[in-house]
Amino acid sequence: AGGSGGAIYQAGGTLEIISSTLRGNIAGRGGNTGTSGTGGAGGSGGGIYHANGEISLTNTTVVSNAAGARGMFSNSGTAGAGGRGGGIHLAGGELSLHNSTLSGNAAGTNAVGGGIFNAGSVVVHNTILAGNTAAGAQRDFAGTAATGSHNLFGIGGQSGFVNGVDGNLVGTLATPLDPRLGPLADNGGPTQTLALLPDSPALFAADAFAVLASDQRGIVRPQGVAPDIGAFETEVNASVTLGNLEQVFGSTSPPTATTDPVDLDVLIFYNGSTTFPTSTGTFDVRAVATGDGFFGGALDTLVI
């Protein structure tokens, strides 16, 4: 079998990873077989393989790591299994994630858990886990369900999280939730990060009561009306005021938005969607204003 833990292999004890980026690591490839037999299994945990003990990631980016490829065969043999957990493989113990971003990681061929494979205990808060690659619906998370709040999961998989419950934003295999991340780049600070684009659903969506004092780069949180999900906090230098938030069904129209400075472009989300509601109810409203180097936002409630 290929070796596990492309960047880190932890057999026990306590490990804290803070304000770091784990990028481009690969677990070992399974060995090939001859004319018969089965190829070796690929190593698991492209970024991290954790066997026991405790591990925590805080303000950390895990991007473009890969579990090991399966060993192949010639003639009548059988291919091995691909490695699980492109970003992190938790074989046991405890994993906690706070204001971190895991994206662009990949499990081995036909394996699950492109972002995380969990066979232990996982607690996740204010974290992005999206845009990872694996078999079936377990692209971002596979294994034992996690606990936590105010996360963004591109595909919920086996995470146990439900969209709209406990502040979690969760997509499905049929409709993945795009976190709208920029490329890994020098966005300030000592490490490269994945910035949030202006239309990211992670903006102003984190738990203000559980947020960290700064982001991965050292930028103070929160910058705006609420902190951002993930390792990156977008800097705010503009404001938005919303109006027309109490309406009568049958004669509705989008809320008004006034910006300072004036005439900025404003994108409004209703319960996480940019589509204006067509039914009665109470809707969480999030506005994002951009233009000419300015950025700001507002949170409110629309009642129809």
Please tell me the predicted confidence (pLDDT) of residue 4: 78
Q: How much is the average pLDDT of 234-250?
A: 95
| Contacts for 273 with CB less than 8 Å, ≥ 6 apart | none
Percentage of the chain lying above the pLDDT 70 cut: 89
Q: What's the CA gap between 217 and 66, in Å, rounded?
A: 25
Task: Specify the residue for token string 């994630």.
Answer: 97
Mean pLDDT across the stretch 87-112? 94
Residue 226, token pair as written in the block: 């609420």
Calculate mean pLDDT across residues 265-286: 92
- The first and second tokens of residue 57, run together, are 């990631």
Count of alpha carbons within 13 angstroms of residue 139, beta-carbon side: 20
Name the more confident of 36 and 99: 99
Give the contacts of 106 (CB within 8 A, at least 6 positions apart): 46, 65, 66, 67, 86, 114, 132, 133, 134
- Distance (Å, rounded) from C-alpha 6 to C-alpha 179? 25
Q: For 140-148, what is the mean pLDDT? A: 96
pLDDT bucket at 36, cuts 50 / 70 / 90: low
Return the pLDDT at 83. 79
Q: Are 252 and 280 in contact (CB under 8 A)?
A: no
* 111 — pLDDT class (breaks 50, 70, 90): confident
pLDDT score, position 2: 56
- Spatial contact of 265 and 291, defined as CB atoms under 8 Å apart: yes
Look at residue 1 and tell me whether its pLDDT is greater than 50. Answer: no
For the stretch 166-217, pLDDT in tens is: 999 999 999 999 999 999 999 999 999 999 998 999 999 999 888 899 999 9
Q: What is the pLDDT of residues 224-240, one digit of tens each?
A: 899 999 999 999 999 99
Q: At residue 268, does pLDDT exceed 90?
A: yes
Contact assessment for residue 102 and residue 63, using Cβ atoms and an 8 Å cutoff: yes
**Higher-scoring residue by pLDDT: 45, 110:** 45
User: Which residue type, as a one-letter code, is found at position 8?
Assistant: I
pLDDT at position 11 over 50: yes
Is the separation of the CB atoms in 74 and 92 below 8 Å?
A: no
Averaged pLDDT for residues 259-280: 92
Q: Would you say residue 118 has pLDDT above 90?
A: yes
Q: Give residue 62's pLDDT.
A: 98
Which is more confidently placed, 76 or 132? 132
The H helix count followed by the E strand count for the chain is: 0, 23
What is the CA 296 to chain-centroid distance, rounded? 22
* Tokens, residue 299: 């949170």
42: pLDDT strictly greater than 90:
no
| Ramachandran category for residue 139: left, alpha or beta (phi over 0 → left; psi -120 to 50 → alpha) | alpha
What was the pLDDT predicted at 154? Answer: 97
289 CB neighbour count, 10 Å cutoff? 25
CA angle (174, 176, 180) in 5-degree steps: 155
Distances (CA, A) of 180 to 40, 189, 234: 37, 21, 13
pLDDT tens digits for range 47-90: 999 999 999 999 999 999 998 755 445 555 554 557 789 999 99
**17 or 274, which is more confident?**
17
Provide the mean pLDDT of the chain. Answer: 90
